[in-house]
Structure 1
């Protein structure tokens, strides 16, 4: 049992909705389709009437033929049965056709809403929750949502059929009808008892499928790493374990779903047996006619089929409700980045100021304990420090990807929380350490920053980097296909495309997260040429591990555990012989053009070395 339930807990943002809340929410999606819903309802009633007419015609026909054995009566009876059957088929076809259109439109809108909700989530949401499981909610769960609607229409038809047949049977013989209905409480008890089990089973089934999707997505994304370390078998074993869990969960669900219908049929057959026995006695006693007895025999099957269908379809109904619950939980997930206003952002100068900033990714890890810093408009500031010093966190806060818990962050003396984020980020350019490109051409990826840019503008921007020499190295120039995630290009080429994309955006504030950390010297020189243009008259935050990038900064900020321990330019910090000098000896010395092994060490004060040793000692809670 532990293996089956392992990893199938609800996500932190999941919520529990009652059936009434879910159905009300689903009904809200059908308001624009009210006209179609009305037509479908009418068709359901008409089909039900035709289905009810069939046993009535046969019953009356039997009584008529008993008293009048004319061939003409039999012909008329056959003709009426044929007409009722054809009309039932036509009404059912139209009903299913219109239902499919309405449901398709609703699922389309729901999927749009789900995808829009994903786009609105802040970065902490994607850090905490598996992307594969999120994808599962947007795709497979929205498909299962359609099950609720389709089954609701089917159950409505079945319920109307039950009501009409029950009225007719009571009208013909209320005594025999009461005998038939003696088993109804037993059927209802089984159905209601199955309801809770069905919801639990469907939730576990969907969560297990979400784990499978997440594992497959991670395996495909990391296949190059697996092959490099020859871990294909371990990756397969992980998938096999998760897939086996999904198999066992689905088997348990299947046994539960398929087991309820035989139980209900057995109870219904008991009712049919009672009707046949007591009805036969009534015919022999001339209490009812042979036609009425046939009506009961035929009607009892039609009577119990809707009841057993309602109960047995409850599993599928619960499957749809569970899927709806998961989608609505995604839609209703509370954002962690809260804006106090949505002011449109004017042309920014680029002044950035942190005032008494307190930031933590969670309640256990403090990243910035009391951070104060002012970056002047147009200033280029490089942040350096050991891993976990808080460099990337500062950049993410400027980008408003995360919510800080204390203090203020001012942009041009305005609180960043007062901005319209969409408008603010249009004036913010980011070049990540590992650039992401979308499938398409190089030109399309550059144009991503400004979709309305012309081909001439894109080409002009691309040529500003390295005099455009990198374009000549592409097989088809700017029309070269980059492949999935840009894998058809080298890492350096991807970085150049990402840099050109930001150049086209022309932002007021620029964030470069180690933009030259994974490229060769030639590409680095091309990027540096582009950076000279990009950094001109812009505020820039550089998170760099390259000496060439750091040296061109107006100011270097040395961080240690979220605190500023030194600041100044390269020469000034080197003369101090402090933390920066230690970083230079550790990381940057070998990047110097005149580097010789064993030479170039900068003297670091002993007190600083002791302080660094204490700071780098592993702590129970490290910052990011």
Structure 2
């Protein structure tokens, strides 16, 4: 389940889980390993064959310096008689002919063979990279699908507790970082490991003694990587945690930018930004600096290893125990051996950063989901009888909100819900929409417990207009049709006309094709409200929920919208949350809520005559206006 901490508490577990994400691509990965093995094998043979060219060149130089007419055995015997046993041993290992110079034809053949090997090695390496890149991108694509599907299954309570910028950071920044880390480390790690194995085989073939000397750098590299890696791991986790927090702050500050300006809070916002940005800087700098130490340390280990091999190899050539070509090849192998070790060590920071991001993604994937969806569904035709039966609900166990609530809304009835802020009005309709699950009791629609049917089926029968309007980036036509995507042009215009959207659309340059930006800033608040009402009108729901739907509309437009709403509510059960009591005088039933309980219910005139809580609310609105 989603944890509260953000640090990579268990690097190994998260790494294994990330690797398991690659399982569906195992055929591609196996193919990449085979291609990589062939590529590395061809590549590591090259230095050994190039050593043969060096030996041919040295043999030609020595052969040219000797008198013609003698044999190789005679030349070796002369060296022994001269007391130069090491020279004799070296001559015995070379393939020379006294009196003859360098065989450039043989050297050219060797070079062509090496060139061919490297070209074929490159071709296999290219194919391996293409296959691995595809495997990684398909894996990340599937992870994005998992997150998208997961978000649809998360309850509204999850988003109530998480900053929107933090969730967006996990879905975008962290996923991108996982993709980048897998892309860079998987290919390099595979090639580096194959290169280490191939080079080791060749080094032991040429000289087991020098190979053992070269292996001394391995434990040093492991110690360096482990020590530095443990220190940088926590910093990488903190780096991505602070990235999410900074994104959340920026998203919040930019969304409410006008309020920040109005209340003169720019300095406070900037100070908070500086603090969070500073935390991110410290974590990012520390993670990169500490993990960056790995590279120079590994270069130092490699250079020391190179010096030792060069000295020992030179002594063995001088003593006649090795050919100079073999020493040359071994020095190249030692470079090739330390280079992948350095790459593996340098990839530690990328891997740690990627695993830290993966853990944040897995926390989102593991978050508690909504209760499983039942397979049952409501009847095809819903009359709209809604009943609350002994309903209990609270957002947190410590603070009960609704206790033993009983309510019946008959088909076609308009039920208005009024009360002070925090009384539970919006909570009531959220429960009907199944945005939250009940703690006790049940809510029925036409006698069917809505918890026994799928949420999508319940919501498909309900039209909802919220106080906070929301329009998507797109045309006005597309925003209205969002309520019913298969609606015809005539039906869209009919809904727009009934809700008085058509009245202002023709004043826009592109009419119904006017593109609304993501924030809806190119239409007024009242016009946005009208478009959302038209959207609900077009959906033609069985049950209608209006959460202060006319709060952003001017007085004259409100009267027109009220007429449209009366037509929309006709024959439908409607729940209307209202703060302006003038808008719900004609409601069939008015519920007065306080502290999650219904304290009064009845018609407008009945409640005024009772001179109770509704009367006080009514007087507080209208009498205060008269006195002013």
Name the TM-score, length of structure 2 as normaliser: 0.88
Q: Contact 1:147–1:317 (CA<8 Å) still a contact in 2?
A: no
Unpaired segments of 5 or more residues in structure 1? 1-8, 599-624
* CA separation of 1:340 and 1:109: change in aligned 2, threshold 3 A: closer
1:134 and 2:167 matched: yes
Q: Secondary structure at the match of 2:626?
A: coil
Structure-1 residue corresponding to 2:41: 49
Q: Which residue of 2 aligns with 1:195?
A: 229
Secondary structure at 1:486 match in 2:
coil
Q: Give SS of 2:472's match.
A: coil
- 1:543, 1:448 → 2: CA distance? 23
Q: Does the residue aligned with 1:344 lie in a helix, a strand or coil?
A: coil
Out of 427, 436, 439, which is 1:393 matched to?
427
Does the Cα contact within 8 Å between 1:461 and 1:503 map onto a contact in 2? Answer: yes
Secondary structure of 1:363's counterpart equals coil
State the Cα distance separating 1:393 from its structure 2 match. 0.7
The answer as to whether partners of 1:466 and 1:525 remain within 8 angstroms in 2 is no
**1:239 maps to what in 2?**
273
Pairing partner for 2:608 from 545, 569, 574: 574
Whether 1:19 aligns to 2:52 is no
1:95-494 to structure 2, matched below 5 A, reads: 95-150=128-183, 151-335=185-369, 337-339=370-372, 341-346=374-379, 347-466=381-500, 468-494=502-528
With over 3 angstroms needed to count, the CA separation of the structure-2 counterparts of 1:503 and 1:517, relative to structure 1, is same
Structure 1 residue 145 displacement after superposition: 1.7
Give, in angstroms, the shift of residue 30 of structure 1. Answer: 5.3
CA-to-aligned-CA distance 1:43-72 (integer Å, 9 cap, x gap):
312321232022112223223333343111
Q: CA deviation at 1:164?
A: 1.2
Q: What is the alpha-carbon distance in structure 2 between the residues aligned to residue 160 and residue 379 of structure 1?
A: 75
Please tell me whether the aligned partners of residues 546 and 588 of structure 1 are also in contact (alpha carbons under 8 angstroms): no
- Change in CA separation of 1:209 and 1:28 when aligned onto 2, cut-off 3 Å: closer
Q: CA deviation at 1:567?
A: 0.7
Deviation of residue 20 (structure 1)?
5.3
Distance (Å, rounded) in 2 between the aligned partners of 1:488 and 1:255: 47
Contact 2:383 2:411 in 1 (8 A): yes
SS of 2:515 mapped into structure 1: coil
Q: 2:65 — aligned with what? A: none
Q: Secondary structure at the match of 2:261?
A: helix
The verdict on how the C-alpha distance between 1:203 and 1:168 changes in structure 2, with shifts beyond 3 A counting, is: same
| Structure 1 residues 410 and 196: CA distance shift in structure 2, 3 A | farther
Whole-angstrom CA distance in 2 between matches of 1:465 and 1:133: 38
Q: How far apart, CA to CA, are the structure 2 residues paired with 1:252 and 1:391? A: 50
| Structure 1 counterpart of 2:565 | 531
Sort the Cα spacing of 1:178 and 1:12 in 2 relative to 1 into closer, same or farther, 3 A: closer
CA positional deviation for 1:398: 0.8
| Corresponding residue for residue 619 of structure 1 | none
Residue by residue, what CA displacement relative to the aligned partner does 1:112-136 show, whole Å, maximum 9, x if unpaired?
3222322332211111101111111
SS at match of 2:211: helix
CA contact (8 A) 1:339 1:419 kept: no
> 92-101 or 120-129, which moves further after superposition?
92-101
1:59 is aligned, of 48, 51, 56, to 51
Q: Does residue 626 of structure 2 align to residue 596 of structure 1?
A: yes
In the alignment of these two chains, the number of paired residues is 584
Correspondence for 1:40 among 17, 32, 55: 32
**Whole-angstrom distance in 2 between the partners of 1:517 and 1:542:** 12
| Residues 386, 560 of structure 1: 8 Å contact kept | yes
CA RMSD of aligned residues (A): 2.3
Q: Distance in 2 between matches of 1:445 and 1:274?
A: 73
For the Cα contact (< 8 Å) 1:512–1:541, is it kept in 2?
A: yes
Aligned residue among 107, 126, 129 for 1:74: 107
Are the counterparts in 2 of residues 350 and 508 from structure 1 also a CA contact under 8 Å? yes
Cα contact 1:198–1:314 (8 A) shared by 2: no
Deviation at 1:224, TM superposition (A): 1.5
Using the alignment, how far apart are the partners of 1:15 and 1:410 within structure 2? 45
Instruction: Indicate yes or no: 2:93 matched with 1:93.
Output: no
Cα deviation digits, residues 190-225 of structure 1 (max 9, x gap): 222333333322211111111222222112211121
Q: Is the 1:339–1:417 contact (alpha carbons within 8 Å) kept by the matching residues of 2?
A: no
| Distance verdict in 2 for CA 1:339–1:149, change over 3 Å | closer
Match status 1:506 vs 2:531: no
Alpha-carbon spacing, 1:307–1:12, altered in 2? closer, same or farther (3 Å): closer
Range with bigger deviation, 441-450 or 293-302: 293-302
Residues 1:266 and 1:535: Cα distance change in structure 2 (over 3 Å): same
Q: 1:560 to 1:322 in 2, by over 3 A?
A: same
Cα distance, 1:28 vs. partner?
3.9
The structure 1 residue matched to 2:593, chosen from 543, 559, 562, is 559
Which protein has the larger Cα radius of gyration, Structure 1 or Structure 2?
2
User: TM-score of the superposition, structure 1-length normalised?
Assistant: 0.88
User: Aligned-pair distance for 1:35?
Assistant: 4.8
CA contact (8 A) 1:574 1:580 kept: yes
Q: CA deviation at 1:488?
A: 1.2
CA distance in 2, matches of 1:355, 1:43: 67
Residue 313 of structure 1 aligns to a residue whose secondary structure is: helix
Measured in 1, the distance between the counterparts of 2:626 and 2:5 equals 54
Aligned-pair CA distance for 1:29: 4.6
Please give the secondary structure, in 2, of the residue aligned with 1:77.
helix
Asked if structure 1 preserves the Cα contact closer than 8 Å seen for 2:22 and 2:139, the reply is yes
Deviations 1:452-498 (A, max 9, x none): 11111100111112494344444433222222232211111111110
CA distance in 2, matches of 1:429, 1:573: 28
2:155, 2:382 → 1: CA distance?
23
